[in-house]
A and B are shown apart, each in its own frame.
Chain A
Amino acid sequence: MTWREAFRQQALSDYAVFRHLTSQADIPVCHRLHYLQMATEKLAKSLLLVGSNALDERSHFALVPFLRMLPSRPDIRARLKWADNPKQFKTYIEKKVIPWAERIQNLVPVGDIDRLNPEYPWLNGRGEVECPAAYGFPEFSKEELIGFATFIDNLIRVTG
């Protein structure tokens, strides 16, 4: 198995858990966000890897750089059913998908302990400890989560 194949397989597994969680309304939203962040990070890494090359950097932030390249990929654009609307596709990627992706990407638990994340407790702006499972993540609207997940769902389909 190549690194590319391994990252994709793990991304699909993470994403399957995310999809399962979307039908489990009683499970805290932090778990959805956690699996969505992990799945998209690995998916992006798999798409950035070529052939049997090994990943040459350890960054968690692979998703946005990948998305920035999408408007110039007519093959993926066509498979996503935007073939006749390259300008509209570029606007959709830049104005909607990338801002969503940046917010999901920034959920990775690195850096200071006062960063919002879905995995570990953190300090909020008032110096209080927040627990992800007890936090509603109002920073993410339903529409944002659904819109981004739908895009990722389709990206997985067309890059298989």
Chain B
Amino acid sequence: MPTIPLNATIQKQAQLLAEEARRTDPSIIKFYWFPAENEVRLIEVATDMQPSLDDAVQPYYFPASPQHNMPALSGVALIRDGEDGKLKLPKGWGTWAEAELLKMEDAE
């Protein structure tokens, strides 16, 4: 199976967003990054999030902000711990198996 070259800038931005989210909200414990060439796709897992009622991930999109080292637009969703791997993903995001679990500096 051919390997798809990924934009390192996108990955770096995903990591930056995850670290920023972790700093501002310690209840967010995991970050799934779904690789894509032209945008960041990130699912954040929180321990105290409202459970999903429709069993689907709903991303919210935020504009690029090059002055803050975020040159691409970002699609970000928040889900509750335990729902990861189960909720239906947005169209075009692929499968849960294709996601990369981002490592945090403060992780055990």
Which residues of chain A have a CB within 8 Å of any CB of chain B? Answer: 22-26, 29, 80-82, 88, 91-92, 96, 136, 141-143, 145-147, 149-151, 153-154, 157-158
Q: Are B48 and A91 in contact (CB under 8 A)?
A: yes
Q: Are A142 and B76 in contact (CB under 8 A)?
A: yes
Interface of B (DSSP majority class): mixed
Count of chain A to chain B residue pairs whose CB atoms are closer than 8 Å in the complex: 65
Dominant secondary structure of chain A at its interface with chain B = helix
Task: List chain B residues, Cβ under 8 A from A153.
Answer: 58
Number of interface residues of B (CB under 8 A): 27
- What 1/0 mask marks residues of chain B from 46 to 62 whose CB sits below 8 Å from any chain A CB? 10111111100010111
**A92 and B20 alpha carbons, distance in the complex (Å):** 21
Distance A24 CA – B59 CA, assembled complex (angstroms): 12
Least CB distance, B99 to chain A, in whole angstroms: 18
Q: Is B61 a contact partner of A143 (Cβ separation < 8 A)?
A: no
User: Is B25 at the interface (CB under 8 A from chain A)?
Assistant: yes
- Also in contact, A145 and B65, with CB within 8 A (given A80-B53, A88-B48): no
Are B53 and A146 in contact (CB-based, < 8 A)?
Answer: no
